[in-house]
Chain A
């Protein structure tokens, strides 16, 4: 049986690449615009397009229910902004985040902002198994700054920033695996395997 992934469409930006990449890993992807659908999901993907407030808008009514679901062990992957909304709040917006990861999203302190392009990720997490060249694509001006011990990968960019998070079965990436060619495809395939094991 293929893994059923429910992917949130917040109404901004395209979801082609992430959808296609996950389908290539053998998953079945259901894109939903009514966020209520996340509550019945077998596996959740929060894609990485748009700004913080715009992204949280549709999710706001279901905040508590989504967190309850993640606490219950539903596997989840948040990419970029989809990861950032898992935190309590962000310097980018006014709306509260989902508050699953304890901590805030802060403005990147670097000579060049946004951080655009390829950079390497240091991680020994299981999702990095089989990745020979840990270069991933980044495009962001903010990053997660957790208050709790959830960082499982970091990247050097004018200092060390946390770029991969895990708490329970919920992963969050600052990078875009769906834009990271072969390495990204291995990462997503590892996530799909991980999610299947949790069912």
Chain B
């Protein structure tokens, strides 16, 4: 499937085993290996990364970037260690955020466990620790297909200088255009609109290109 997306023009592929931390499972390294073999676009792997060694194993299996979420919150220093050894460019800090009053709180374990961390402050901290990208998922918007969380994305992308990838809520092409033009997000992640063949990656890109968004 990953190779098929590359053919369609996908810029990157992200594999997330979203329930790995909850079920205590490690990353599916064999799947990563098989995918990486025939893929010539960047591959990000996430879910169940518990240590620097897990990260090394994922990179050795063929991942270009590794996304950390629960582990980063529990042991922030691991972000720095990984950035130092493997380079910031391969450390993606995934943040699952949910609105609480006037701000957003960080959730771990695939969005199941609330923490006391403020999402914007945590993003800044992750950058200081050496993360190279933020993969920001709005739990409020995720699955609703009603558009990305513009306010959250704008707040985080404004606060950090590393690239932010917006995630959660994409239901149609207009949503991607909206988040890329109304916030400083560098990229947008969409899953279901592509998985269920509602749209092709190429359709998405020509839509954005026609509207003046710079795409490959």
Contacts and interface: CB of A to CB of B under 8 A. Distances in A.
Interface residues of B, number: 34
B40 A117 contact: no
Contacts of A185: 40
B174 to A, nearest CB: 22
A13 B40 contact: no
Given A14-B61, A140-B89, A179-B42, A111 B161 contact: yes
A181 B10 CA distance: 9
Query: Which applies to chain A's interface (DSSP): helix, strand, loop or mixed?
Result: mixed
Nearest to B58: A14
A51 interface: yes
Contacts, number: 89
A117 B215 CA distance: 10
B11 A118 contact: yes
B59 A133 contact: no
A113 interface: yes
B80 to A, nearest CB: 13
Contact of B162 (A17, A112, A137, A178): A112
A107 B186 CA distance: 20
A51 B86 CA distance: 6
Given A21-B40, A180-B40, A50 B163 contact: no
A111 B90 CA distance: 19
A139 B187 contact: no
B86 A50 contact: yes
A141 B40 contact: no
Nearest to A52: B87
